[in-house]
Amino acid sequence: MLNVPSQSFPAPRSQQRVASGGRSKVPLKQGRSLMDWIRLTKSGKDLTGLKGRLIEVTEEELKKHNKKDDCWICIRGFVYNVSPYMEYHPGGEDELMRAAGSDGTELFDQVHRWVNYESMLKECLVGRMAIKPAVLKDYREEEKKVLNGMLPKSQVTDTRAKEGPSYPSYDWFQTNSLVTIAIYTKQKGINLDSIIVDHQDDSFRAETIIKDCLYLIHIGLSHEVQEDFSVRVVESVGKIEIVLKKKENTSWDFLGHPLENHNSLIPRKDTGTEIVKPYTPVSGSLLSEFKEPVLPNNKYIYFLIKIYHTGLFTPELDRLQIGDFVSVSSPEGNFKISKFQELEDLFLLAAGTGFTPMVKILNYALTDIPSLRKVKLIFFNKTEDDIIWRSQLEKLAFKDKRLDVEFVLSAPISEWNGKQGHISPALLSEFLKRNLDKSKVLVCICGPVPFTEQGVRLLQDLNFSKNEIHSFTA
Ligand code: NAD
């Protein structure tokens, strides 16, 4: 897992940490990465020392907790015990200690304005300050103003004028069960890679990259929504629709209250970004790996990374120089090698870079599964140029008669004699034929989320059981 910003959507519970550019970082000890911190926060360990109790903290009490092993910090009226986080803080312990036992809001805003500390430090929450530093707001009133595009200037921290035909805006709609937040970027060429959505509990946040700025929607939702959501982009007009599912089918009077930097456009240079993005390691080469199963030098990990030129971070990754650092976590995943036991038919459905998990599966299946009779890879891409490792795949299929490869293009630009279109019932029933009625089968599927979801539905319609399907999700 690379510690780099997403080219697609981080999962709803993901951490997206953005910090001001050029901020210095200290080397973290082994086992103290962001992923390790996330793991610790999910372990159920009592990180506050209060066994889950939330308390009201007076200023006097706060001041007492000013040591490394007993360090409380107040951010925007909420008090966190940051001692457990000390060793995980990329800026180092000393940086955190600057706010020990005090209100660190100002310092935090200077350094970490964008960090989603509410979710990051959720398990460290001690409680509220007894006297709240923040002024209470009439949220309903504010919401109306936001929706009317009249949020008072004082509450908006963006430096750009909120006017002119090209300034982004948003609106919301609802049905009985859904809430749609529509972002009008007013820019062509906006794609899924240009947006990060994160929502946790009632806090909803969407960052859209618009040229050299980030447009931020940041709202405390008025009602609860489910964890999963979907996002659509109408590229031709630059409209993004984020569809949230209501927990209860009631009508909402208002969307929610604005949170920090809501409805603002922030220059990107202010915001270095640090986001966890999963990548599946591949082999150095499909063919050599197949010929020589033992890696000549096991100190390399190979990733196949598609650079989205209008994307949030992959262009940055593209600019990395030899000697630059990228944090990599230990591996994660839920694919069990036992699925291959006694396997006879293996079907691989890959779309775009969703091919990456198939690389090692292909290598392993063709070399280590004696029972295997047939492997079929159906590889969906937009154009011929998008087909990753085409010639290696063709050579591999030529060498090993158990392997069939079918390329399917959804938007061929030149003359193309092969299959065209998207994943469909007709295509799957044509290709996914079991060797024998009762042969042991596994279908692996990976690609853009709508592709994978649709594929799994179609496979179930074709009577593949849940055990016979493995879908890879980022
Ligand atoms: P792409 O946009 O180039 O699309 C490739 C093909 O996917 C298209 O030709 C089409 O056949 C199909 N497709 C795309 N959108 C579809 C839709 N809405 N409905 C049905 N089919 C659709 O793909 P890309 O840019 O290479 O993106 C690959 C995706 O795979 C990314 O979202 C990436 O996150 C995901 N991925 C996941 C993993 C994993 O979970 N382990 C690994 C690698 C890639």
- Note whether 359 and 286 are within 8 A (CB): yes
- Note whether 372 and 344 are within 8 A (CB): yes
User: Which atom in ligand 1 lies closest to the alpha carbon of residue 192?
Assistant: 32
353, 383, 444, 459: residue to mutate for ligand 1 pocket, most atoms within 8 A of CB:
353
- Note whether 192 and 474 are within 8 A (CB): no
In this structure, which residue's CA is closest to atom 31 in ligand 1? 448
State the distance from the centre of ligand 1 to the C-alpha of 259, rounded, in angstroms. 33
Pairing assessment for the beta strands 125-129 and 102-103 based on DSSP bridges: unpaired
State the distance from the centre of ligand 1 to the C-alpha of 438, rounded, in angstroms. 31
DSSP state string for 377-440? EEEEESSGGG-TTHHHHHHHHHH-TTEEEEEEESS--S---SEESS--HHHHHHH---SSTT--
Give the Cα separation of 63 and 103 in Å (integer). Answer: 9
Residue 255, CB-side half-sphere exposure with 13 Å CA sphere: 28
In this structure, which residue's CA is closest to atom 25 in ligand 1? 352
pLDDT for residue 25: 58
State the distance from the centre of ligand 1 to the C-alpha of 350, rounded, in angstroms. 8
State the distance from the centre of ligand 1 to the C-alpha of 355, rounded, in angstroms. 9
pLDDT for residue 4: 34
In this structure, which residue's CA is closest to atom 5 in ligand 1? 352
State the distance from the centre of ligand 1 to the C-alpha of 10, rounded, in angstroms. 15
pLDDT digits (tens, 9 = 90+) for 255-287: 988 887 888 887 765 444 455 578 888 888 887
The amino acid at residue 241 is E
Name the stretches of the chain with pLDDT < 50.
Answer: 1-24, 132-163, 270-273, 289-297
User: Which atom in ligand 1 lies closest to the alpha carbon of residue 422?
Assistant: 11
241, 380, 409, 471: residue to mutate for ligand 1 pocket, most atoms within 8 A of CB:
380
User: Which atom in ligand 1 lies closest to the alpha carbon of residue 352?
Assistant: 26
Say whether 18 sits in a helix, a strand or coil: strand
6, 382, 409, 420: residue to mutate for ligand 1 pocket, most atoms within 8 A of CB:
382
Question: Can you name the residues that pair with 171 across neighbouring β-strands?
Answer: 182
Contact residues of ligand 1, CB 6 A cut-off = 8, 280, 306, 351-354, 356-357, 380-382, 386, 410, 422-423, 446-448, 450-451, 454, 472-474
pLDDT for residue 329: 66
Give the Cα separation of 21 and 50 in Å (integer). Answer: 36
pLDDT for residue 410: 95
Give the Cα separation of 353 and 407 in Å (integer). Answer: 14
Q: Phi-psi category of 52—alpha, beta or left, where left has phi over 0 and alpha has psi -120 to 50? A: left
Give the Cα separation of 437 and 342 in Å (integer). Answer: 15
pLDDT for residue 149: 24
Output the pTM of the full model: 0.52
Angle at 249 between CA 245 and CA 253, to 5 degrees: 90
pLDDT for residue 146: 26
In this structure, which residue's CA is closest to atom 26 in ligand 1? 352
Give the Cα separation of 472 and 444 in Å (integer). Answer: 8
State the distance from the centre of ligand 1 to the C-alpha of 452, rounded, in angstroms. 8
pLDDT for residue 131: 54
356, 388, 422: residue to mutate for ligand 1 pocket, most atoms within 8 A of CB:
422
pLDDT digits (tens, 9 = 90+) for 396-444: 999 999 999 999 999 998 889 999 999 999 999 999 987 767 889 999 9
| SS percent in the chain: helix, strand, coil, step 5 | 25, 30, 45
